Structure 1
Amino acid sequence: MTHTRETTMRLKTALLGAAALTALAPAAMAQPTERGASGHLGLFYWQAPSVLNPYLSAGTKDLEASSLMLEPLARYDENGTMVPYLAAEIPTVENGGVSEDLTSITWTLAEGVLWSDGSPLTAEDVRFTWEYCTAEGGGCAQLAKFEGVTDVEVVDDQTVTVRFDGPQPNPYTAFVGYQGPILNHEQFADCLGPAAPQCTEANFGPIGTGPYVVTDFRPNDVVQLEANENYRDASKPYFATVTMKGGGDATAAARAVLETGEYDYAWNLQLAPDVLEGMVEGGTGQLNTAFGASVERIEANLTDASPDLPEGERSTVAHPHPFLTDPAVREALSMAIDRTLLTEIGYGEAGRPTCDLVPAPELYASGNTDCIEQDLEGAMQMLEEAGYTDTNGDGVRETPDGEPLEMLYQTSTNAVRQDYQALIKEWWEQIGFSVELRNIDSSVFFGGDPGSPDTFQRFYADVEMYTNTFDGTDPQAYLSAYTCNKIPSPDSAWVGENINRYCSEDYDALIAELGETADLDERGRIAKQMNDMLTNQSHIIIPLTARGELSGVANSLGGVKLNAWDSELWNIADWYRIEG
């Protein structure tokens, strides 16, 4: 599959058209002035949410859905600038909110914020959220947000102080961004630790401070919502009701907005550029894109996922992988990939080939390019020199112990990912691997069901492919996900961010150093070193494509500001129907 220069230029025009539409619509058309005046809003999130609690799932679709109800103290706007949400202002050293020794940050809550049940938001809710995520046996999916936090002190009903175990140059981790919202302490009081996944009513219908309230939730299918009557802005949200439709695929989502007009917003349009370009000609919607730090990558499982192992022992640190623990094998897998071709086919102008886990912002991006050029011959030579040879002539190499290099390669179901899988399988088989492909419904793959064997956290495969990113512009919490204490296991109900089961004392030491470093240039240096440890040095993570956030927006929808640094739905209270 290829796309011509003409197709590329037309796609550029479509993308620019979306930006123009978003920028000009609010000025050209009067916004509503009353809550609910715009009627019904249809969102097509074809990766359907499985849970509405962001502390039980790292899947982007679950985080996005949760952001309709749950809010943090502060978040990031479309320019990556931190802005207050539930807080009255952003604490700084200058205004006295951050202590001069950088060991604490004090947040003051905005006046008059109510939960959707009418009760007041208090500092106790903030403290409880920390207790919830750090409770023993809970396996919190956002634990990295609370790295270095020793206490969350309730000063009074409106004031809370977060204390750190030492100077924290970046104190804006806990309770900042859509990955770290505040929970209602009364609703979740009995849901600490191992009980967290069992609190179905709370996890499926959280009481929130956001613009919408859940009226019906069918996991892996659809969420129905209505305007929060206790929302702090009396005139918002402008839509009275919202449907977040899941299921299907990116093609169906794109058509529903760009061709048929059945829905207003389609998220994550992972489709070939020429396919999208044709759909835009349908005339009912435009494309909206923004680049942040999202990377489509392959993750290597450092543990043995063999189904021959007893349940509870598969993909655990007790059983190292028979060959993916060898850096030479992982490097050969990386060398065999043509990232430029993959990106051209899969994303066109909405993607860039990359060798980095953190491709942006520039301060933290290593800018590695060594992996961009495919080297099949070099990959075969590396395997040969490391002792992986094809002794029986069947085309599949064996380990020095005689075990064939057979791999299960899994990802979620969508057309672009299956194209990536097919090409990568072909390249890996050329260098002597046997590769079985598996794709899993995205709602399940990115879901938080601790009983499912098919989630990306449980990782019952040898390698898997997906994208995630971090909110805001500082990658400290994101990189902290790969520390030893965040490995998913049966004891944590398979919740945990370190899905590779990677554990390095040197890496953990760098995270500690980053947490104590204030100088921005030094922070950039340390973050780059950590990025390189995970990617071009160890190849535990094999980056492929830096992806732009790409969504479809109906021509009749105003107020949308696509955000690559936070939830795409970050300002949904401001969305409205353009009449006429």
Structure 2
Amino acid sequence: MKDQDLGHLIARVKEGALSRRSFLKKAAAVGVAAPFANQLLAFNGVAMANATLPYKPTKAGGGGPLKVLLWQAPTLLNPHFASGTKDQIASRVFFEPLAGWDKEGNLIPCLAAEVPSKANGGLSADGKEVTWKLKPNVKWHDGKPFTADDVVFTWEYAADPATAAYTTGSYKDIKVEKVNDLTVKVIFKEPTPFWADPFVGTVGQILPKHHFAEYKGAKSREAPANLKPVGTGPYKFTEFKPGDILTGERNPDYHIANQPHFDTLEIKGGGDAVSAARAVLQTGEYDYAWNLQVEDEVLKRMETGGRGKISAVVSGDIEFIILNTTDPWTEVDGERSSVKTKHPTLSDPKVREAINLLIDRDSIQKFIYGRGGIATASFVNQPAKFKSTKLKYEFNIDKANKILDEAGYKRGSDGIREKDGKKLKYVYQTSINAPRQKTQQIIKQACQRAGIDLELKSVTASVFFSSDVANPDTYTKLYVDMEMYTTTQPQPDPERFLNQFVSWEIANKENKWLGRNVSRYSDPAADEAYRAAQKELDPDKRAALLIKVNEIFCEAHVILPLLSRTRVAAAATNLMHDHSGWDVDSWNIAAWYRA
């Protein structure tokens, strides 16, 4: 389908001659996924089809307690420091963005009065400006009014390098102006095809200026509100014990009529994914459990209990391994895995290529994840338009042995290969979770057959995914040779997802290890393609550039994709919840209710 054909179909939708459903089917037939087809319609002024949860209650409150399990316990409540999904979920209960993403990839207004479009004057013709109109009469939990000043401040806060925010990549290259108390303008340096990043979704949560103004920059970690949030969300903060429990109560002044339904909220952290699934599906002790990285056969048996149901949604999330090309065992200027160092053996592309061949992805999918993941060689898998058709995976121990033989790595008396006195011995780290430990074992056994020795390290999930800058075992530190985890694609567009592959996002001591590029690897060609994609308005050319960024890292075998993850949660049979694969689980928690 040519661009002009798409334009013709969009015009027919606007005229009422073609239904949205028919347009989506025609777009899908030529590889344009529903989230992007919907964005094309929105960009051209066609109202979004709301795929959010239909809300039945006729008044706020009366629903009693809502009990949620995050088996990776939250440790902080400032969304701009939240490198772990668990902290992002917890923060989103109190803080809100201008808009969020529903399960179909539609942009849904939250603190904004409407989604910007060309038709309503929100999007400039040159692609450089976005005007957001804010919802009136919104109050912070302390009664102060929410205004454009808070939006502008959030930009200043996140963009300041001294703040060392996890979200800085979304704000550092833009300018935000206050038009009036209920209008802000976002100005991009270049034409920006994907403008729905700043102030949207996970990275877009707005902070109250009156609580954070004196803590912008170097004092950012000292703000009391980092642990005692004052937001605009459906629940007001009551208590937080980091690593344990978070509680809230219904916000009586919430800006959406008749919401929220529940009177109190409890988010319990800790434990493991299996016990979390059991607490919803079998015992009914909790209403909702997030991120059930549990063997599929186990979940199927639990579902027979009748107290709960599995909720699985398509997402862009990826389970993958990083091979560290820097030296995790040598400290330079107060940090290990510094870009000033070079890994003794993993800096060798041949070693990385061999390790990639020693991963039995098909068995990991079949015997461990089932509904929870699909084997892949591509870091980006959804939407399909952005998935590389070039990247392929193969499990071949003989081929891996041949590569290492030809590269000069010989087996010692202990069976471990070495070259120039440097052994192929690695520490392989992940979080404590049964599927991950089984995956580690599968890979370890294959590596042994190729003369590679893996020491398996498992870290408590609440520590591994912590944003604690003092902890050496967090995944962003990468103080090991290789590590495995899932990273979440926060929106139905891979641009921000792929900033994990750019040089200016490298995690290090200076940015408190909150840079998005945990691998530390960089490539000028990837940087160039990424910057070009940021301003390319032709959708096909832009997709090709982002695919190139993905391919550079995967073909270098620094990033070893394992599974395209489905987001799996458990919910009580009578809980009406809104589960999106493009936003955090709590993105629309205000609309949850008990049937």
Could you tell me the TM-score, scaled by structure 2's length?
Answer: 0.89
How far did residue 57 of structure 1 move?
A: 2.2
Which residue number in structure 2 is paired with residue 567 of structure 1? Answer: 584
Is 2:447 the partner of 1:389? no
Task: Write the distance in 1 (CA, Å) between the matches of 2:121 and 2:313.
Answer: 34
Contact 1:411 1:417 in 2 (8 A): yes
Q: Give the unaligned 5+ runs of structure 1.
A: 1-25
Task: Write the distance in 1 (CA, Å) between the matches of 2:270 and 2:97.
Answer: 28
Contact 1:117 1:230 in 2 (8 A): no
Structure with more relative contact order (C-alpha pairs < 8 Å, separation 6 or more)? 1
Instruction: Please give the per-residue CA displacement for 1:485-536, whole angstroms capped at 9, x wherever unaligned.
Output: 111222222221111112222211111100111111112111111111111x
Contact 2:161 2:168 in 1 (8 A): no
Task: Write the distance in 2 (CA, Å) between the matches of 1:147 and 1:476.
Answer: 15
How far did residue 472 of structure 1 move?
A: 2.1
Instruction: Please give the per-residue CA displacement for 1:105-144, whole angstroms capped at 9, x wherever unaligned.
Output: 1111111111111111111111111111121233221223
Q: 1:277 to 1:505 in 2, by over 3 A?
A: same
2:226 paired residue among 198, 203, 206: 203
Which residue number in structure 2 is paired with residue 46 of structure 1? Answer: 71
3-state DSSP class of the match of 2:100? Answer: strand
Which residue number in structure 2 is paired with residue 378 of structure 1? Answer: 399
Q: Letter of the 1:563 partner, please give it.
A: S
Q: 1:251 to 1:406 in 2, by over 3 A?
A: same
Tell me whether 309-318 or 269-278 shows the greater mean CA deviation: 309-318
Tell me whether 190-199 or 117-126 shows the greater mean CA deviation: 190-199
Contact 1:221 1:246 in 2 (8 A): yes
Which residue number in structure 1 is paired with residue 133 of structure 2? Answer: 108
Which residue number in structure 1 is paired with residue 176 of structure 2? Answer: 152
Could you tell me the TM-score, scaled by structure 1's length?
Answer: 0.91
Alpha-carbon RMSD: 1.6
Contact 2:71 2:268 in 1 (8 A): yes
3-state DSSP class of the match of 1:217? Answer: strand
How far did residue 158 of structure 1 move?
A: 0.9
Contact 1:354 1:368 in 2 (8 A): no
Which residue number in structure 1 is paired with residue 474 of structure 2? Answer: 455
Task: Write the distance in 1 (CA, Å) between the matches of 2:56 and 2:534.
Answer: 44
Task: Write the distance in 2 (CA, Å) between the matches of 1:424 and 1:196.
Answer: 41
How far did residue 46 of structure 1 move?
A: 0.3
Task: Write the distance in 2 (CA, Å) between the matches of 1:291 and 1:444.
Answer: 27
3-state DSSP class of the match of 1:398? Answer: strand
How far did residue 368 of structure 1 move?
A: 4.6
Task: Write the distance in 1 (CA, Å) between the matches of 2:297 and 2:193.
Answer: 45
Is 2:232 the partner of 1:213? no
Runs of 4+ residues over 6 Å off in structure 1: none
How far did residue 303 of structure 1 move?
A: 1.4
Instruction: Please give the per-residue CA displacement for 1:406-458, whole angstroms capped at 9, x wherever unaligned.
Output: 11111111111111111111112221211111111111111111111111111
Which residue number in structure 1 is paired with residue 206 of structure 2? Answer: 182
2:84 paired residue among 54, 59, 78: 59
1:554 paired residue among 559, 572, 576: 572
Task: Write the distance in 2 (CA, Å) between the matches of 1:225 and 1:197.
Answer: 23
Task: Write the distance in 1 (CA, Å) between the matches of 2:566 and 2:335.
Answer: 37
Q: Letter of the 2:129 partner, please give it.
A: S
Q: 1:139 to 1:325 in 2, by over 3 A?
A: farther
How far did residue 369 of structure 1 move?
A: 5.3
Q: 1:118 to 1:189 in 2, by over 3 A?
A: same
Alignment of 1:343-492 (within 5 A): 343-368=365-390, 370-371=392-393, 373-390=394-411, 392-399=412-419, 401-492=420-511
Q: Letter of the 1:501 partner, please give it.
A: R
Q: Give the unaligned 5+ runs of structure 2.
A: 1-52
Task: Write the distance in 2 (CA, Å) between the matches of 1:197 and 1:300.
Answer: 31
What percentage of aligned pairs have identical amino acids? 41
Contact 2:63 2:594 in 1 (8 A): yes
1:313 paired residue among 319, 324, 335: 335
Tell me whether 408-417 or 111-120 shows the greater mean CA deviation: 111-120
Task: Write the distance in 2 (CA, Å) between the matches of 1:365 and 1:427.
Answer: 28
Q: Letter of the 1:542 partner, please give it.
A: L
Task: Write the distance in 2 (CA, Å) between the matches of 1:215 and 1:227.
Answer: 10
Task: Write the distance in 1 (CA, Å) between the matches of 2:321 and 2:133.
Answer: 41
Contact 1:144 1:478 in 2 (8 A): no
Task: Write the distance in 2 (CA, Å) between the matches of 1:436 and 1:317.
Answer: 24
Which residue number in structure 2 is paired with residue 78 of structure 1? Answer: 103
Task: Write the distance in 2 (CA, Å) between the matches of 1:229 and 1:235.
Answer: 10
Which residue number in structure 1 is paired with residue 594 of structure 2? Answer: 577
Which residue number in structure 1 is paired with residue 261 of structure 2? Answer: 238
Instruction: Please give the per-residue CA displacement for 1:203-251, whole angstroms capped at 9, x wherever unaligned.
Output: 1122111111221111111111111222102421000101111111011
Contact 1:247 1:443 in 2 (8 A): yes
Instruction: Please give the per-residue CA displacement for 1:4-27, whole angstroms capped at 9, x wherever unaligned.
Output: xxxxxxxxxxxxxxxxxxxxxx99
Q: 1:148 to 1:511 in 2, by over 3 A?
A: farther
